[in-house]
Structures are given as structure tokens and as C-alpha cells.
Structure 1
């Protein structure tokens, strides 16, 4: 692999040294050596003692979201401690996600919601659980509530590693008009505001974005987002109606073979197939209602979504078709509808405070069609398969929270999920129906606080669904022979021990030791550009998260995570899980209201990964830094300079190892590392006017 020899990734020893140095500085507050005056953490986080049921659960507020730079929209999920968001294709495609030793591909095993609308797409043309957040306008996000592990009764499909609930704002403190410009023809325009309308508030937002990126083949990204939201009421009683619209098209530079770069055939930012790319759209209408009184709380969310995707990719170049090449088109048209309802009751049992909660979650997806086609330069040559898919599910859950003692409470829950699949396939023998159901018990025990420290024990069972097309298959595409149907719902089991402490004023620190067992892993198959079910696996890990507000203008963050991931069913090929990250570190400082100045610096590191089951080929580690400097020109105007990849590291966003064939190579192809480079140092300047 031809990565620069001059870069050596920081070892865990160096990371821990930095972390302990920060921790030492934090613990010294109040001494003569440190003159900062710590304040409450709640302006950026809502993670105080007594607000969560696990050490790994928490919330981030819009204040913090607004003060940190993000290269891509999907990086908003990096506010979840331990999460890494990258890309291996054009920026109109869903990101790659890493968390708790998972290469989550485009979202499998991490559930994401915007206003309780599921973002994960099941039975998707490109990948199960496909999570594309490009329809989101970050400035309109009010909060992010994150959870990890299968310990929560209201969390269902795809949530075994974790979940994130992004809540949109009902109102803005003031209108915002901004214009951003940067290298490689980057342009972004934003207009958003809220105003009184009838008995409520009307919020609108419009985003226009274009970008060519650093790629030799310009990305030519053209994105438009629009939001219109009407709301009435307050945090206790109210409702909202939200319409969202998104359209995007782009050219893609996918992962490239290391040998093509080392030989000089292409540059680090070049492409083998310059016709890769895609077009995507998403339109939604949602309704949210909440009612709360002394007896209980009622919540309801309903949504309808229509989306389309046309994606052209070529990962193996000329391996399967030496004449036309291996480009393929994944296309789908989807209509999705869902309803979530829950009712809570507050009462006392034998003098103990009790909350009982019942809920129902339904969802229906219709894909008409979802297809895979052979193409050359985006022109269709043949149909590999084309399917009509109907997938319906219902989830029922019950949860009891009891305050047994002043410093001990329990949260016990159970969840039942039932799925129905209906597939009409172009491949004879692959049409049919399937059904499956799963019961998932959960239990959390919370002790304390003692000395401003709370302790947690969490166990639970979860699941993720598999692609509907696999549940009815009997034949592989392209005459690949007979095959067996996959298990529709795959079980997971997890446990966690943790603590959260505020023993130092201004510092919120949490520590979690966890384990997650997965009944079936997902492994990337490079020559097909997709994933397949594989062996069972086990992951164990530790996470240490720290948020310290030194005073009213300085916030320090340090999040560290280490994971050990292995297949539990032995195979001669090896027991390492390809793509499983073993180290994640994020260190940051955010400055606000320092006179007219503000800023942030964020360093993120994710460690090397095995690329083969026997660990004979590994990726390099990736460490990059982002910098933001802001200046308030006057009461309504400010300038912000963002610099991404501050030290211009030549790392990669993602690495795979598989066989591909370039023109002139042997027909059997060459096994090689295929990587997508991080973007080089890039600067963007934003002018913002509030009205």
C-alpha cells in the first residue's frame, strides 16, 4: 500500500498522554496554577446526573453544533462520542460510519432518526440500513439524543450498536442568511428564519450547495434542500407539521487501487472510472404531537417519505467484463409511511414513584422497483435483477421505570417486532413471501448518585433486519446457482457497566465497559460492491468521554474508545473482522464569546483495521484536525474561517482489500488495497448575517 512513509499515526500511548495531561489540568481547577472559573456544562450538553439510563447515553445541544466545523453534513453524527464518519464515494452518497468496533457500512446497526422519521433505509438498492443525511440542514437541528447498545425498549431495527435522534427546531432566535465560499468551486447559500403565524410559529429553511472537490474528475455536486415547519404549543403540549424536500446529483471518485497510484497511472485524487456518480432525492411530510400532564404523557409521530436513488459504481474496473468494464447501476424508487404512538403513566406503587410506558411503531416500505444493472458510462447494458418489494413491520414495547430507593432505580422493558416481506423478482424462483418475529427483553439498573457519581448496569437483546430480497432467494443472479434464504431478523445481545461523574465542577465524565454479540456479521465483498451475511461475532470495548466547561467561553472535549472485535465461529480463513476499528480518539477545544472572537479545533483519530480475516493486511491509522476561527464584525454580522485537514495529512477515509483488474493486467485480476483518500487541506470562508 503506497501511503506516505513520513506519517506515523499517534500511538495509544501518545493519545493517553494527551488525555491525561488534559485531565490533570481539569482536576487542578481552583488552584493558583489554573485561573479558569468552571461553570455548568448544560449550555452544550444535557447529560447531567439523573438524565440518562446508561453511561453511554446523552444529548448535545444546538449551541455546540453551531460552533464546530463539519466538512460534510453527515459528520453531524460525530457529536456521538466514538463515532467516525467518512466517505468512499461522492458526497451525494450516504457516508461510511464507524462505532464500537463496527464498520457500519452506510448505517447497518446504527439507527438514525430526524424528528422520529427513520433515516435508515431497509432493503435498499446499495446497502441494508442505508443512512443518507444529505437532506438535513445542520443549522436547523436543535438537539441530538444518542444512545448505544440494545438496552432501550423503544429502539428497534438497526440500533444494536447505537442510535441518534436529531430534533429539528420549532423556532430560531433570529433569522440567518449565510454565504460560504471555498476552494474547488465550493459554494453554499443558506436562508432560514421563523415567524409568528396564526396561533403558532412558521419556520423555513433553504440551502443551495455546489462543490467540485479536490478530485481530478470534478464532483460537480449540485444540492438543494428546503424545509417548511409549522408548530404550536410548548415543551409540554404542542404539535408540529414539517415538509422537507431534497435533490442532489454528483460525479463520484470511488475508492482506488493503491497500485494505480504508486505506478503513476493516477494521482491520489484520480479515478479509474470517471463516469461513476449518482442522483438522489427525498421528499417527506411529518406530523408530531405531544401531550403531558400530572398523570402521564402521550406522543405520536406520523410520516410519509418518497425517495429515489440512481447510483453508478465501479469497484473492480475490468475484472468481470474485460471489454465493457464492471460499472453497475443501483436504482430504487421508494415510498415509505409510518406511525409511532406511545403513552406513559406516572403513578406510585407502595409509595414508590413509577412510570409505565406502552408504545407501538409501524412502518411500511414499497420499492417499485429496486434494481441492479450492468452499465458502461451510465448506459444500461443488461439487467442483473429487478424486484418489486413490499416490507411491513410492527413493533410493540412496554417499559417500567421504578424508583425503588432514593438512590436506586430500574428500567425494565420488553419489545416485540414482527416483519412481513413480499418480493416479486425478475429471477425465477426468487419471488415469494417471508415472515419473522423477535422478542427483545431489556434491563437497566441505576445506582446513586454518591459524591456526584452515578453507576449503571445495562443488558439487553436487539436485532437488525436483513434485505427482503435475501429472505426469499433460491437462485443467485447471473446464473450463480442455487442458494439459501437468509435469516430475516438477526439477533444481537449486549451488556454494559458504566459510571457518570460530576465530582469536578464543570466536568462531565463517563466511563463504560461493554460487550456486544452479533449472530451474523456483515462483510464487504469488493468484486460485487456489496455486503453479505457471515459468521457470528463478539465485540468488547471501553469508552471514556469527558466534557469540561472551563468558563463561559472555553469548552474542552476528550473522547477515547478501544474495541476488541473477533468472529466467534472459528474458520481457517481467520477470526479477525475486516474493517473493525480498534481505536478511536477525539480531542477538541471550543471557544465562544471571547470578545469578538470564537473558534474551535478538533482532532480525530481512528486506528488501523484488519482488511482480511487473518489480519495479514491492515490499513493505516487516520488522524486529521479541523480548525475554525470566527470574528463578530458587529451585532448581526460575523465571518468564519474553517480549515479542514489542518496539517494536510495524506491518510485515507476508508480502505478495502480485494481483487480488481486494470487494463492490461491478467484476467484473474490483482489483490490490492483500495482506498479513498481524505481530502487535502481545504479552507472555507462563511459570511453570516442575522436578521
Structure 2
């Protein structure tokens, strides 16, 4: 009840800000699609809803982009440059182990990554270039493969921009951000267009150890309609970043007064990373019923991370700082053919496709170091290649009010690894095939109500180092799940989407790049309930809320000792937005994470939190001004939490197991101005 009163107070605060402005408006018409225009029975209904969300609450960071997905939660715990920890549907996805992420068709997940399987760093995206986000929960999509167990997220950049812009922002903690988009072909928007975008970020953050976070992004895109049947798209991006991190600190270090909440035990944590992407897309319209699409991509990737999770547990004299490094090239391509058939009273769209991805990993390792400099001990060091070849087929048969969607996917993996610390075995390799059937059914009760049932199998691949260690066992653990949902529009300005779901994972393990080993806990099951609400009672007023309940448990373990560590049990996000005709806008956002087990027996609990953000804006034709306030009420909250055994100076050699955490951002304000031309 306290949380409800709290949110009500926040809502009242927002409305108070705009009372004087609202009463003067008699005809308020915001730009973009309205909720009343969304067609529930359309295949693009969820995409239309996401487009509204993006328009009503613009994204300002890569973290904001991920938060747009209903039910998806994130945590940042390494100085801003490390990929976010992702939570979805009762999964602690770590940095991407059980969620497939792509950007314009380029896979973001890194297989056999130095820090963790499926590591997904989205910081190469510039938020102002994102046109839309498509997503799906569960593993029900034939064109999605590795890591698609809890769901997938695809980011799509604008093909063209109507004008150029420059944005400059500054805020607390010596924060500076500048971004720009430049239209290179303003007079030729239909047959050919091109633009470039850039971004620079700097902040020292709220920590005692200055983050000195630097990130530079550059993105370019060119589109050419060759003729009425052929289209080509070429794009390139590059980013690099470096940072210091305060790391995760034990609770006792703060409660005993050894350090403050924003202090560090190891002051030399941090890292640097870079990624360059090249992409070529080609589309060919064979005829009115047939289409072909091809894409070819390349990524150059480097990563260095310095972390310290146990402090003086292993090395009482030098400390336990570790260095994880990754250096690779990624090559891939995807192809898809689609054809439409008409049968009088029904129609069918058939799709078939395939592709491959090869990661050529030049250097992959883990070492104990001191202060990022002195090499104390190599724990792992090697190189290798990992290749995935896949094919899929699916059909959408539309008959009357029904749409029946069967699908089938097959993936072949080839793992090859050379251990530089033990060269006696030479290059070792294993192969594995996974077949994943899918079956979905949709029923349109009327124009405003759609029922659906989704079922299917998915999988995530194991780290190639563990594949070799386990001699090919548990290489591609599979998942199976079901969604039963309804998408309805009871009145023209309200959309409701409740979903009951269930997921089973054959082996819940996570390759731990921090200790060169696998945490294999066996099979798990999850069931839960999602509820999404979107309401626009007036053109200028938009309300949204997402609530997500999950019950994650280990299968075959005694009750009370069967909790899935750090798996979320209840999360909720939402807010209220005002967008006026005179250019004023405001959004009050909230996010809530409930308490969750940090250990298998729930003896250590990761405490939940409730945080509010406020966004204010004023926009005219050629310029805009915005203010962003994070943690509006300056609450103490912990963003990332883990149960770790750590040892501080003077403590017993066995160490102490307790909660370690990274504190969440305190009250923080950032203002910016945008000029369009």
C-alpha cells in the first residue's frame, strides 16, 4: 500500500507541474500515432505500440533502449562501460545468456565471450538513430536461434532522416554528452538517402573513484532504391570506450564504516572495449507474391575488463583482481525467401531461410593481476573458432478468423579451441545439431480482441571452452515453453495484454568467465503472468504500466533449497506522460524490483527497490530543450547485487559469504538543448 501511495504522490507532483499549461489548451494534438489508431488484429500491433512508447518517452541512453521492452529489467555494475545485466521472465540473463539481441540484423550476443556467454554490449547504438524496437518473449520464432529462450530484442535504425540535428547535454558528476545526426542527401529522399551520426559521452559518476568514463560512437547509413524491384542498404558503425569502476562492495564494509556506499575496496577496476560493424542488406522483389532478402555482416571486437569480486580471499598479499580479455572477428550472413499463396477462402505466407556465423577468436583469456599491471597468474588463455550454420522454415496460414503458424529450425555448431596453457592436445573440436520446432495459433474474436497460443523449443549454446572440458556434453541445452495470451482493446484508447506462460530449461548453467568454470544446477522451470496496459484517455495524456510475476525453481531439488539465484520474481515499470500542442512534455517514470533470492536456499536476499525518474521537455520546430532527473526522490537503492564469499584485510582466510552490491545512482539531473537544421 505504501508503494501505491508513493506512486500516487509522484503522479500528483507531475500533474501539478503542468496544471497551469493544461487548462489553457483546448485542442491538443501530439505528433505520431495515437493509441486509438492501433489495429489489434494486425500483425504489427505490438510494433505500433512500441512505436508509441518510443515517441512518448524518448530514449536517451542505451540503457533506456533496453528498458522499452515490456518486462525487461537491467542493472549496470561496472562503471558504465560494461554491458548491462538483463532480467526477463524469471531469468537472470547475466549479460545475454538467455536473450537473443540484434541491431539491424547484426547479432549483438558474443558467443564464448571472455566475461560471460552471450555477452551483449549495446553501447555502439546511438539512441537518436533508433526508429523502432521489435521483441518477442519466449522461444516461439523460427527465424530466431541461439540465446532465444526467455525472448529476443531487435533494434532498427532509421533508414532516412528528414533533417540534421546537434544535441548538447550536461549534468551532475561532470557529465557531458553531445550527439549529432547529419543528413547527407537532403534533396533525394525517395530513391537514395544517407546520413551519419555521432555521439560522445563523458562522466565521472557519483563514486569516490572517478569513473573517467569516455565513449565515442560513429554511425553511417546509405540506402539506394536501385530500381522498382531492387534495394540495397550499406551501413557502418564504430565505438570505443574506457572507464574506471568501483565494483561490487560487501555490505559489512559499509555497515562497519570501513568505506562509504560510493567507495571501493579495489580502486583499479574498470576496462576498455571497442566494436566496429559493417553491414550490407539487399532486397529483391521477384514479383507481387515473392520476395528475397540477404544480409552480410562483419564485426571487429576487442574487450578488456579488470574486476575484483573476492578481494583478498585467494591472494592475501596481492589481491584477487582479474583481467578478462577478448579479441575477435565475426563474419556472417542471412538469407530469407517468402512467397504468398491465395486459396480463395484462405491465404498462406511461406518463409524459408538460412545463414551462418563464424567467430574467429584470436585471443581469449583470464588472468590474476595487480592494479591492471602486474601479471600474477594465468588461469586461461587460448584461441579458437565457433561456427553456426542454420536453416528455418515457417508458414502463416490465414483462414477466416484464424492464423496458424507452424515453424521448424535447425542449427549446426562447430567448436574448435586451442589451449595456449596446455598445447599437448592441439586444437580440439566438437559438433552438435539442435532442431527446434515451433507452433503458434492466433484467433481474432473481433476487430479489437485477439487470443493466441504460442509454443516452441529454443536453446542457448555453451561456451566453447566448457564444450571442450565436458567433451561435448550439455553443448546446446534446450528450452520448451508456452504462452497463452490475449490482446484486447475494450475501448478505443485502452490496450490490455495479459499473458500466462511457462518455460522449462533442460540445464540451467552459466559459464563463469570470472572463475573459469561452469555453474551447472540442472533443469529449471518457470511459470508466471505478464500484464501490459496502455491508456490514452486524452490526446495529450499517456499512461503505461507493465507488471511481471515469475516463479523460478530448480527441478528435482528439495523445497526450500530450490531457488534460482538472482532470478526476478516480480517487476513493474510504467509512468504517466503529458505531451502538449505548445511543445511542452513531461514523463514521470517508475521501476520496481521485488526482493529475490541471492542463494539457492534463500538465506541471502537481494533487496528490491522502487525508483522514479522525471523527464521534462520543450520543443519547437528547430530546437528543443530537455531536463532528465534520475532517482527523483534520492532513495538509497542497490542496482546490482550478488552473494559472494569475500575477504577483507584482517579477516579469517575462509572469508565471509554475504551480499555484495553496486549502489544505484543518487539524485542526478541532466539538461540538454537540441538544434535542428
- TM-score normalised to the size of structure 1? 0.90
Partner of 2:183: 194
- Is 1:589 aligned to 2:576, yes or no? yes
SS at match of 1:300: strand
Shift of 1:572: 8.4
Partner of 2:625: 639
1:396 to 391, 400, 415: 391
Between the aligned partners of 2:514 and 2:53, the Cα distance in structure 1 is 41
Shift of 1:609: 0.7
1:450 to 446, 451, 460: 446
C-alpha distance after superposition, 1:318-362 (max 9, x if no partner): 001111110010001010011010000001246420111101021
Is 1:44–1:64's contact at 8 Å kept on the other side of the alignment? no
C-alpha distance after superposition, 1:56-112 (max 9, x if no partner): x54555664355365742331111100111111111100011110111100111111
Between the aligned partners of 1:537 and 1:649, the Cα distance in structure 2 is 35
Partner of 1:468: 464
Is 1:94–1:133's contact at 8 Å kept on the other side of the alignment? yes
2:145 to 146, 149, 156: 156
SS at match of 1:259: helix
- Is 1:317 aligned to 2:311, yes or no? yes
Shift of 1:553: 2.0
SS at match of 2:657: strand
- Is 1:688 aligned to 2:674, yes or no? yes
C-alpha distance after superposition, 1:272-295 (max 9, x if no partner): 111000000001110112234421
Is 2:184–2:196's contact at 8 Å kept on the other side of the alignment? no
Between the aligned partners of 1:271 and 1:490, the Cα distance in structure 2 is 38
Is 2:212–2:244's contact at 8 Å kept on the other side of the alignment? yes
Is 1:72–1:91's contact at 8 Å kept on the other side of the alignment? no
Shift of 1:133: 0.6
> 158-167 or 528-537, which moves further after superposition?
528-537
5+ residue gaps, structure 2: 13-25
Shift of 1:671: 1.0
State the superposition RMSD in angstroms.
Answer: 2.7
Between the aligned partners of 2:43 and 2:229, the Cα distance in structure 1 is 19
1:101 to 90, 93, 100: 90
> 307-316 or 542-551, which moves further after superposition?
542-551
- Is 1:209 aligned to 2:201, yes or no? yes
Between the aligned partners of 1:367 and 1:532, the Cα distance in structure 2 is 23
Between the aligned partners of 1:263 and 1:436, the Cα distance in structure 2 is 51
Structure 1 pair 507/296, CA: closer, same or farther in 2 (3 Å)?
A: farther
5+ residue gaps, structure 1: 1-7, 22-34, 475-483
Partner of 2:277: 284
Structure 1 pair 643/37, CA: closer, same or farther in 2 (3 Å)?
A: closer
Shift of 1:668: 0.8
Is 1:567–1:575's contact at 8 Å kept on the other side of the alignment? yes
SS at match of 2:184: strand
Between the aligned partners of 1:346 and 1:439, the Cα distance in structure 2 is 26
Is 2:639–2:663's contact at 8 Å kept on the other side of the alignment? yes
Structure 1 pair 15/100, CA: closer, same or farther in 2 (3 Å)?
A: farther
SS at match of 2:579: strand
Is 1:434–1:471's contact at 8 Å kept on the other side of the alignment? yes
Summarize the alignment of residues 299-448 of structure 1 with structure 2, pairs less than 5 Å apart.
299-349=293-343, 351-379=345-373, 380-404=375-399, 406-428=400-422, 431-448=427-444
Structure 1 pair 473/531, CA: closer, same or farther in 2 (3 Å)?
A: closer
1:218 to 200, 210, 213: 210
2:40 to 36, 41, 49: 49
Between the aligned partners of 1:599 and 1:150, the Cα distance in structure 2 is 36
Is 1:41–1:507's contact at 8 Å kept on the other side of the alignment? no
Shift of 1:672: 1.2
Question: What is the count of residue pairs matched by the alignment?
Answer: 655
- Is 1:561 aligned to 2:554, yes or no? no
- Is 1:263 aligned to 2:253, yes or no? no
Structure 1 pair 529/177, CA: closer, same or farther in 2 (3 Å)?
A: farther
Shift of 1:385: 1.2
Partner of 1:27: none
Structure 1 pair 41/521, CA: closer, same or farther in 2 (3 Å)?
A: farther
Is 2:312–2:320's contact at 8 Å kept on the other side of the alignment? yes
1:545 to 532, 556, 568: 532
1:667 to 645, 653, 666: 653
Partner of 2:598: 611
Partner of 2:643: 657
Is 1:420–1:436's contact at 8 Å kept on the other side of the alignment? yes
Partner of 2:16: none
Shift of 1:654: 1.8
> 547-556 or 619-628, which moves further after superposition?
547-556
Between the aligned partners of 1:488 and 1:252, the Cα distance in structure 2 is 33
Between the aligned partners of 2:236 and 2:36, the Cα distance in structure 1 is 28
Shift of 1:656: 1.0
Partner of 1:28: none
1:495 to 472, 482, 485: 482
- Is 1:169 aligned to 2:183, yes or no? no
- Is 1:506 aligned to 2:488, yes or no? no
Shift of 1:533: 2.7
Shift of 1:38: 11
Between the aligned partners of 1:294 and 1:319, the Cα distance in structure 2 is 67
Is 1:416–1:437's contact at 8 Å kept on the other side of the alignment? yes
> 506-515 or 43-52, which moves further after superposition?
43-52
Structure 1 pair 373/66, CA: closer, same or farther in 2 (3 Å)?
A: farther
Shift of 1:16: 11
SS at match of 2:185: strand
Between the aligned partners of 2:229 and 2:584, the Cα distance in structure 1 is 37
Structure 1 pair 585/377, CA: closer, same or farther in 2 (3 Å)?
A: same
- TM-score normalised to the size of structure 2? 0.91
> 291-300 or 614-623, which moves further after superposition?
291-300
> 135-144 or 553-562, which moves further after superposition?
553-562
Shift of 1:139: 0.3
Structure 1 pair 36/261, CA: closer, same or farther in 2 (3 Å)?
A: farther
Shift of 1:596: 2.9
Between the aligned partners of 1:17 and 1:223, the Cα distance in structure 2 is 38
Structure 1 pair 45/328, CA: closer, same or farther in 2 (3 Å)?
A: farther
Shift of 1:36: 10
Structure 1 pair 437/485, CA: closer, same or farther in 2 (3 Å)?
A: closer
SS at match of 1:472: helix
Between the aligned partners of 1:573 and 1:358, the Cα distance in structure 2 is 46
Between the aligned partners of 1:472 and 1:413, the Cα distance in structure 2 is 32
Is 2:380–2:516's contact at 8 Å kept on the other side of the alignment? no
- Is 1:137 aligned to 2:118, yes or no? no
